[in-house]
Every structure is written in structure tokens, then in C-alpha cells.
Structure 1
Amino acid sequence: MLSILRNRVYRHLLAAQIVALTGTGLATVALGLLAFDLAGNAAGMVLGTALTIKMVAYVLVAPIAAAVAERLDRRKMLVVLDLVRAAVAVCLPFVTEIWQVFVLIFILQSASAGFTPAFQATIPDVLTDEHDYTKALSLSRLAYDLESVVSPLLAAALLTIVSFDSLFWGTGVGFVASALLVVSVVLPSPKPKQPRGIFDRTTRGLRIYLATPRLRGLLALNWTAAALSATIIVNTVVIVRGDLGLSESAVATALAGFGGGSMLAAFALPALLEKLRDRDVMLTGASFGTLSMAVAAAMSALSLISLPSLALIWACVGFGYSATLTPAGRLLTRSAPPEDRPALFAAQFTLSHLCWLVLYPLAGWLMTDKGTTQTFAWMTFAAAWGIGFMGFLWPRSLTQLPHNKP
């Protein structure tokens, strides 16, 4: 897997992703502490609103950013967006009102909505061999999972010597470092042969996406993955602290199970995708994750949930989650020519986060109103619903068909 690091351009891009993710992780910790500093016991409402703003920005801004990106040099665009994110991060320590947090979060996440799809679409242009690109997708998944473990530990270490608002400066440094790494290499920036109007550029990615059977199937799997991950992200703290009565460190242990399972899948996927069809791997991953959530529902009903069993189940869900979504980049890359890939990656970014925008609050409401067992059961049903639609939208007989043009 590490052989692709011999490619200097990809090596710099991966390093840029890692330092930016680390900075983002520091900001996540600092934002929670800032919310408590400004709102006290209402901090949860502030963070929930900030998360909603993040998702709304992702859903609304990504297609517009992709339309603008078509006219711009890819490298310059990524650098400018990194610098915008850095500027917002260093403004956050100076806020005094909650509304200022919301405004800055919207700007920050709007810049991320432009940056992330364009960055993701650049990788297959750099690594044109599909085997190498598959390895890059696994490394990217590992980077996300490691960030979820390393950033909180780094934040905890820094908080022993600095105040929480200093973490935002670390976030700014991460984004600046990302910009420097991007500017240090020459990136491909494919352009369409004929100029396109603003409506065509804004909607092109969504039209290609919804006209392509395998991508319609991917949308259904996005729903399944969102149902599984939303249950874990939103409710693990309630299960561990409330139901089991355990410490904050136990929450980290349970979440580490999810990350560990995801990383294990990332290591296994390059070899699996050499032997099996993407559809089969993704469908198996989604089914395994959903079955694991069903096991959690049964064990909760029988009062058999403990920290070790929860961490093990979350590891199984994490494995299925990673196996479901990691190959998505391969499907997107095959489904459009290079000049259309930023728009198509933006469509995936928008539609996947639209699933989370629905399922995050649903997972929270179910836990609050119905309790743990019913939450597991209903979210299992939601995940299974996505798998059923995937089989209808992307039948096995269409696995090898080329993409449909809008």
C-alpha cells in the first residue's frame, strides 16, 4: 500500500490531508469548549446548531463551488480555500457572541465544501492507475480514522500547557501547512472542451450522478452508511455514560472500536478489490454493518450490552462502514471524464451529507424518545432500507455498464 508514496505529488497531497485533518480535529475539541464557555449548560444546543450549519453548508455550497472550480486553476483554488479556512480558525478565539460562532462556522464549512470534492477529484488525476488509486483510497480512510484517535490525544496534551482557544491557532497552522504542501506541487486541472453555462456547471455533477445506475446504488449505500455512523456518533456517549454508567474514557474506548474496525477494512480492501467486484464488496460491507447493528438491538433488548461487547459490535459496524464507502471513489472516477470529476465528487459530497443531515437528528430523537433498544432497531431498519434500494437501483446485471451521460 505504501508504494504509492513514491509519487511525489501524491505524497505531498496526502501530507496536506493529514495536517488539515489534525487541525480540524483540534478545532472540534476547541469548539466544544468554546461553546461551553459562551453558553454553559446550553452548549449542546450550540454544538447541535453548529453541526446543522455544517451539513447545510455542505449540501448547498458544494455544487456551486464545483461550478466555479471548472473555470479556475485547481491548485490555486485549493490554496485559497485552505487560507480562508486558516483565517476563520484564527478568528474563533476572539468571538464573544454565539451568533459569531455560527457565522464563522458557516464560512469555514463552505470553504471545506469547495475544497474537499476538488481535492478528492485530483487524486485519480495524479494516480491514473486504478490499483494505485485504490491504495490511495485506503490510505485516505486510514488518515480519517487515525485523526479521530490522534487529534483528541494531541488536544488533551496541549490543554495541559495552553488554554483551549490556543487550539484554534493550531488549526490555522494545519490549514496553512496544507496550503504550502499543495502549492509545492503541480496539479492537473482538466477543463471541458466547450464552455458551459452556470446552470450546466452547477447541476452537471448531480445529473451525471442520478443518470448512472451504479451511482444511484451508491446513493442508497450512502443512506445505509449514514444510518450506521449516525447511531454511533450521536448516541455512543449516551449509551456509555447513561445506560452503562461508565466514565468519559470509556466513551473513547467504544468509539475506538468503530475506528479500529474501519482501519482494519482499509488495510484489507486493496486485496479484496483485486479479486471481487466493487458492488459485491460494498454490498457485503453494508450488509455486515447492518447485521451488526441488528445484533446490538438484540443484545440491548436482552440487557447484554457491556463496554467490551459494545466496542466489538462498533468494530464490526466500522468494518462494514469502511468497506461500504471506501470504494466509492473508484465508482465516481469511472463514471465521468477528468473534466467532470470535480462536479461528480461534489455531487457525492452533497448527497452523502444530505443523508447525514436527515439521520443525525433522527438518531438523536430516537434515543431521547424511544431508548437504546428501539434506536438500534429503527436505525437497523433504516440501514436495511438503503440496502434494499441499492439492489433495485444498481442490479448486478448492470455492474459492468459504462456511465450514462446527462
Structure 2
Amino acid sequence: MSTLFRHRDYLRLFTAQVSGLFGTGLTTVALGLLAYELAGSSAAAVLGTALTIKMVVYVTVAPIVGAYAHRLPRRSFLTSLHLVRAAIVLALPFVDQIWQIYVLIAILQTASAAYTPTYQAIIPDILPDEREYTRALSAAQLATTMETLLSPMLAAAALMLISFHWLFVGTAIGFAISAALVLGTRIPAAGAATAGSFRERITVGMRIFAATPRLRGLLGLNLVVAAAGSVIMVNTVNYVRDILGGTQSGVAMLLAANGFGTMLVALALPRVLDRIDARSVMLTGAATLLLGLTAALALSTADSGDWRRYAALAIWSTIGAGTAAILTPTGQILRRSARPTDRPALFAAQFSLSHLAWLITYPIAGWLTTTTGFTVTWLTLLTLAATGLILALRLWPRHDPEQLTHLHEITTTDPALLLDAERVDATHYRHTHPYVIDPDHPRWPRPNRLLATAA
């Protein structure tokens, strides 16, 4: 990992990401407490609505950004987005109406939806080496998990001295530091994107998802992560304050337990992924999340007892561990599933599709908890998670080699594809190479059968 940080530009971007993440982490804690201050026992519904707005923005904005990412001056664009987010969070301490939360969250998350896929698409350009890129993915997940662990702990310590409103100021400072770091980074210009109309560019990532078996399986895993993560993001505040009788610091500590579980797995994964394929790791993570949700469901039926605090810490940690096992290898899966010019669109598609799953689970975690309680809500989320795991098992083939042998017709649009090919009959050539969906490979070869992939 030390060699990775010798890349000056990557180090600056990574540090900017960490600074922004810690700002976001403080906002997560402060927003939950703000919702509880304004809505009391209905805080879950307020958070559920706010996070649903966030997901709607993510699902709609990210594909548009992916379609135009190659036209944007990426350094200036990322810097501006950090500054916009800093300005918005500075306004949140002055909120005294619930509708104001919704408006500011919509603006804040529009900037975030534009930032994340753009940032993700830059990293492969800065780190073209596969091993370095794999470690960068682990570092990114580790940064996310360290934020999940440390931000609540910092918030818990700060809340002993100051009002939670000041946490928003800390968030703004984090975004300002990130903007300064990005501004000093040399970011390569984006490559030429897929040719075609706006509609074609905006849908190219979705088409790759639809045609690639491993990515269809990833959609199921996205649902598992969202179902378990909604318990953490939406229900923690009300569970600690209303069921466990805890304090603001108690909320932060339970969120920190979730981050601790994530951190442990993220630290171990780089070496694990050198020996074990990503599919096995990610499916194990999904099974771990189902175990955590099952334990949470059992906990929700307990009437009393101090032991529930310790059980909740263990369950939140388990959910964190399972989440890391799925999210850490995701970038690696996306990278091997598209040519470089299509990566921004594919990352944007994953950003939107993964948050589409959260768009389903956030309202359930928020509104259903308010009307029926934790047991019914967590049973519903467990059912959704189990459905996602079943879909992943069925859609992602066990045998998933990077290189595939397939046929091309002689009339292929790119004769260079056939330089290393073997002619098999009057109209077809056969060759083997890393297979991704592109204009010359618009569909996936069927198992145990060689198909022509270009007309």
C-alpha cells in the first residue's frame, strides 16, 4: 500500500476524498440528531424521506453526468462541487422546519451525485496498473470505513462539549480542504466517450449492465447492501433513543461499531482478493448481511435487558463487515467489465442502480418503522436482502473467466480485432481476449456455445 501513495496526484485525490468523507460522516450524525430534535419519535420518517430524496437525485443525476463527463474540465468540476457542498451544510444549522431539510438535502446530494462517479472514473486513469488499482479500491473502501468508524467517535466526543449544530461547520471545513487538494492535483483529460446521441451515451452503462452476467448479479448484491444499510442509516437514532434509552453519544457509538466491523474486513481484503475470486468474497459478504439482519430481527423482539446494548454493537459490527466484503471489490468488477472509454458511463450506471436499491429500502426503513415498529420493518428488509442474494446466485455464473473464446464475422467493424484470430469457416473467425460489451461485442456469448458477436 505504501507504493500506492508515492503517486503524488493519487495521494492528493485520496486525501481529498478522506477529508470529504469525514465531513459527510459528521453530517450523517448531525442530520439524524437534527431530525430527532424537529420530529421526535417520527425522526425515522423524516430521515427516510430525506434519504429517499437523496436516492432520487442519485438515480437521475449520475447517468447524465456520466454521459457528459468526457466534456468537463474534471479538476475544476470536482473543486466546484466540493465548494457547493460546503455552502449547503453551512446552511443546515439554521434549519427550523422539516421541509427546509428536504430542500437542502436535494441540493447537497445533487452535487454528491455528480462528484462520486466522476471521481471513480478518474482513478483508473491515474493508476493504470491493475494491482495498484486493486489496492486503490481497497484504500477507498478503507477510507470509507475509517470515516464510518471515526466520524461517529469524533462526533460523540464533540457532543460532550458542543451542540450538534456545530458538526455541520466541521463538515464544511472538510469539503473546503477537499476542494483545495483537488485544485492542486494534475488530473488527465477524459478520453473520448462512446460516440452517438445523448440518449445513447446516457444509456451505454445500463446496456453494459444488462448484457454482462456478473453485473446483473451485482444488482442483486446492491439490494442486499441497501436492505442492511437502511437499518443502520435510518433506524439507529430511534432504536438507541427510544428503545435503549441512550443518549446522542450512544447513537454515535453504535454507528462507530458498524464502522469498526467494516474496517476489519477492508484491511484484510487486499490479500484475500489476491487468492480468492471477487464473486466468492462478495457472496460471503451477502450471507453475512443476512445473518446480521436475522440477529437484528431477533433483537427487536426482546422486551428489556441491558444485554441488548452489547448485542446491538455486535450486530451493527456484523452488518459493517458484510457491507465491506461486497463494496470493496465492486470497483474491480466494474473495471474488468468495460473498455476505458466506457468506464465513466459504467461507474455512473452502478452509482444510479445501486442507489435505486436504496430508493426502495430507505422509505421502508423510515415510514414502516414509524407505523408498525422495528420487527415488521426488519423482517421486510430481511426478505428483500434474501431476494437479492438469490438473484445474485442465479445471475452471476460460478465460472466467470475474464477471457472468453468467441466468434466474429468477417464483416466486423474493426478488422484489427481479427489480427490474432483463427479462421474457422467461410464467414467466421475465432479468437480469445478479455471480453467486455462494446460495439463489436454487443451481447454475451452463451455458455458452452460460440456465437457471432458482430453483424
- After TM superposition, the score normalised by the length of structure 2 is 0.80
Correspondence list, 1:248-259, <5 A:
248-259=248-259
Query: 1: distance between equivalents of 2:274 and 2:62?
Result: 32
Which residue pairs with 1:386 in the alignment?
388
Decide whether aligned partners of structure 1 residues 211 and 107 sit closer, same or farther in structure 2, where only a CA change above 3 A counts. same
- Which of 304, 311, 314 in structure 2 is aligned with 1:312? 314
Give unmatched runs, 5+ long, in structure 2: 405-434, 443-455
Secondary structure of the structure 2 residue equivalent to 1:134: helix
Query: 2: distance between equivalents of 1:337 and 1:85?
Result: 32
Decide whether aligned partners of structure 1 residues 146 and 389 sit closer, same or farther in structure 2, where only a CA change above 3 A counts. same
Secondary structure of the structure 2 residue equivalent to 1:306: helix
Correspondence list, 1:44-55, <5 A:
46-55=46-55
Following TM superposition, by how much is the alpha carbon of 1:50 offset from its aligned partner in structure 2, in angstroms? Answer: 2.5
Following TM superposition, by how much is the alpha carbon of 1:178 offset from its aligned partner in structure 2, in angstroms? Answer: 1.1
Select between 211-220 and 307-316 the one with higher mean Cα deviation: 307-316
Report the count of equivalent residues: 406
Following TM superposition, by how much is the alpha carbon of 1:44 offset from its aligned partner in structure 2, in angstroms? Answer: 5.8
Which residue pairs with 1:403 in the alignment?
436
Q: Is the 8 A contact 1:67 1:201 kept in 2?
A: yes
Query: 2: distance between equivalents of 1:104 and 1:22?
Result: 19
Which residue pairs with 1:27 in the alignment?
27
- Give the counterpart letter for 1:403 in structure 2: V
Q: Is the 8 A contact 2:156 2:252 kept in 1?
A: no
Following TM superposition, by how much is the alpha carbon of 1:9 offset from its aligned partner in structure 2, in angstroms? Answer: 1.2
Query: 1: distance between equivalents of 2:252 and 2:292?
Result: 20
Decide whether aligned partners of structure 1 residues 202 and 89 sit closer, same or farther in structure 2, where only a CA change above 3 A counts. same
Q: Is the 8 A contact 2:159 2:248 kept in 1?
A: no
Query: 2: distance between equivalents of 1:383 and 1:32?
Result: 24
Give unmatched runs, 5+ long, in structure 1: none
Q: Is the 8 A contact 1:84 1:108 kept in 2?
A: yes
Following TM superposition, by how much is the alpha carbon of 1:22 offset from its aligned partner in structure 2, in angstroms? Answer: 2.0
Select between 359-368 and 267-276 the one with higher mean Cα deviation: 359-368
- Give the counterpart letter for 1:326 in structure 2: T
Decide whether aligned partners of structure 1 residues 360 and 105 sit closer, same or farther in structure 2, where only a CA change above 3 A counts. closer
Select between 142-151 and 273-282 the one with higher mean Cα deviation: 142-151
Correspondence list, 1:123-134, <5 A:
123-134=123-134
Post-superposition Cα deviations, 1:29-88, rounded to whole Å, max 9, x if no partner, equal 444566577778876655443322211111111111212212122222212222222333
Query: 1: distance between equivalents of 2:162 and 2:319?
Result: 36
Following TM superposition, by how much is the alpha carbon of 1:116 offset from its aligned partner in structure 2, in angstroms? Answer: 0.6
Correspondence list, 1:180-329, <5 A:
180-192=180-192, 195-298=195-298, 306-329=308-331
Query: 1: distance between equivalents of 2:38 and 2:348?
Result: 34
- Give the counterpart letter for 1:196 in structure 2: G
Q: Is the 8 A contact 1:69 1:77 kept in 2?
A: no
Decide whether aligned partners of structure 1 residues 154 and 312 sit closer, same or farther in structure 2, where only a CA change above 3 A counts. closer
Query: 2: distance between equivalents of 1:214 and 1:26?
Result: 35
Query: 1: distance between equivalents of 2:147 and 2:165?
Result: 20
- Give the counterpart letter for 1:293 in structure 2: L
- Give the counterpart letter for 2:436 in structure 1: H
Which residue pairs with 1:355 in the alignment?
357
RMSD: 2.9
Post-superposition Cα deviations, 1:348-394, rounded to whole Å, max 9, x if no partner, equal 11111111111122233444455444444332222111111111111
Which residue pairs with 1:117 in the alignment?
117
Following TM superposition, by how much is the alpha carbon of 1:327 offset from its aligned partner in structure 2, in angstroms? Answer: 0.4
Following TM superposition, by how much is the alpha carbon of 1:138 offset from its aligned partner in structure 2, in angstroms? Answer: 2.0
Indicate yes or no: 2:181 matched with 1:143: no
Larger Rg computed on CA atoms: 2
Decide whether aligned partners of structure 1 residues 36 and 378 sit closer, same or farther in structure 2, where only a CA change above 3 A counts. closer
- After TM superposition, the score normalised by the length of structure 1 is 0.89
Indicate yes or no: 2:37 matched with 1:4: no
Post-superposition Cα deviations, 1:283-304, rounded to whole Å, max 9, x if no partner, equal 1111122123224434655779
Decide whether aligned partners of structure 1 residues 296 and 169 sit closer, same or farther in structure 2, where only a CA change above 3 A counts. closer
- Which of 334, 337, 360 in structure 2 is aligned with 1:335? 337
Query: 2: distance between equivalents of 1:296 and 1:33?
Result: 22
Query: 2: distance between equivalents of 1:238 and 1:31?
Result: 13
Q: Is the 8 A contact 1:213 1:403 kept in 2?
A: no
Select between 156-165 and 345-354 the one with higher mean Cα deviation: 156-165
Query: 1: distance between equivalents of 2:308 and 2:151?
Result: 26
Query: 1: distance between equivalents of 2:385 and 2:178?
Result: 35
Query: 2: distance between equivalents of 1:118 and 1:68?
Result: 10
Query: 1: distance between equivalents of 2:98 and 2:242?
Result: 28
Q: Is the 8 A contact 2:153 2:253 kept in 1?
A: no
Query: 2: distance between equivalents of 1:219 and 1:122?
Result: 23
Query: 1: distance between equivalents of 2:36 and 2:320?
Result: 30
Which residue pairs with 2:453 in the alignment?
none
Q: Which structure shows the bigger proportion of residues in helix conformation?
A: 1
Query: 1: distance between equivalents of 2:198 and 2:334?
Result: 22
Select between 47-56 and 300-309 the one with higher mean Cα deviation: 300-309
- Give the counterpart letter for 2:185 in structure 1: V
Query: 1: distance between equivalents of 2:286 and 2:99?
Result: 39
Q: Is the 8 A contact 1:32 1:47 kept in 2?
A: yes
Question: Sequence identity, in percent?
Answer: 51
